Amino acid sequence: MGRDVRELRSAWSRYQRHAFHSPSPALAPWVERYWEVRWDYPEPYRQKIVPYPNVHLSFGGGRADVSGVCSGYQVKVLEGRDHVFGVAFRPGCFRPFLDASVSTITDRVISATEVFGPDLPTTLDVPTMDAFLLKHLPDGDPRVRQAVAAVELIAQDKAVTRVEQLASELGLSIRGLQRLFAEYVGIGPKWVIRRYRLHEVTARMAAGGTIDWATLAADLGYADQGHFIRDFKSIFGEPPTQYAQRY
């Protein structure tokens, strides 16, 4: 079956509108961003969603959900006209809200009432969400800062390509690093490293130009191009050359 033409060359942007908002300064250590998606699809559209290590609180379709980190891509069917408002928590920050290991909700969606209680906001805008989350701010946890710093190091330093390298940078054992990520991030450090390095691939695609896949795989720390393609497919659901058609 051929690809939906609405996927290609950013044609989807005719049917969807995305907006991003910053939280209040008091929430910035906990919340990465607020996001909104509006769509109008006369015919059903299969939306591919590629994960980052964020936990999300979302409101839409008459529901309020907390979505744990997804270990792979998802496909959601968008149909008709609708709107979702969401909160992307900083990776490593959700453990105090959940009061349990974040790995317990990995690849799961739970009702927001299980975390925040029944009095959820019904007005979906930044001031209302700021006020709601400020009311639910948890106590400080020094391990949160350690987990956040670990993920930020991965995101900012392109030279970080191996778990043992990250553990050494942070002064942790490999096992200690793995426990930290399971408890606070919800997924292992190897996955997070792989995800941020693969982000560089999609950034190059979006910029245009010819990509030497073998050289790029080596730059990202892969032993060979085959391992790179396998990892890309596990996250994005298709090989990089096919994904590039979107651009």
**pLDDT for position 247:** 60
Helix, strand, coil share (%) of the chain residues, nearest 5 = 45, 20, 35
CATH superfamily, domain 142-246, is Homeodomain-like (1.10.10.60)
> Alpha-carbon torsion 210, 215, 220, 223, what sign?
positive
Which residues, listed in sequence order, are joined to residue 222 by a DSSP beta bridge?
none
What's the average model confidence in pLDDT over 203-213? 82
Q: Say which residues have a Cβ less than 8 Å from residue 66's Cβ, sequence separation at least 6.
A: 55, 56, 57, 98, 105, 109, 110, 111, 112, 114, 115
Half-sphere exposure of residue 90, counting CA atoms within 13 Å on the CB side? 21
For the stretch 67-103, pLDDT in tens is 999 999 999 999 999 999 999 999 999 999 999 999 9
pLDDT category, 8, cuts 50, 70, 90? confident
**Position 11 pLDDT exceeds 80:** no
Q: Where are the domains of the chain?
A: 5-135, 142-246
Residue 188 near residue 181, CB atoms below 8 Å: yes
What is the model's pTM? 0.92
64, 129 in Cβ contact below 8 A?
no
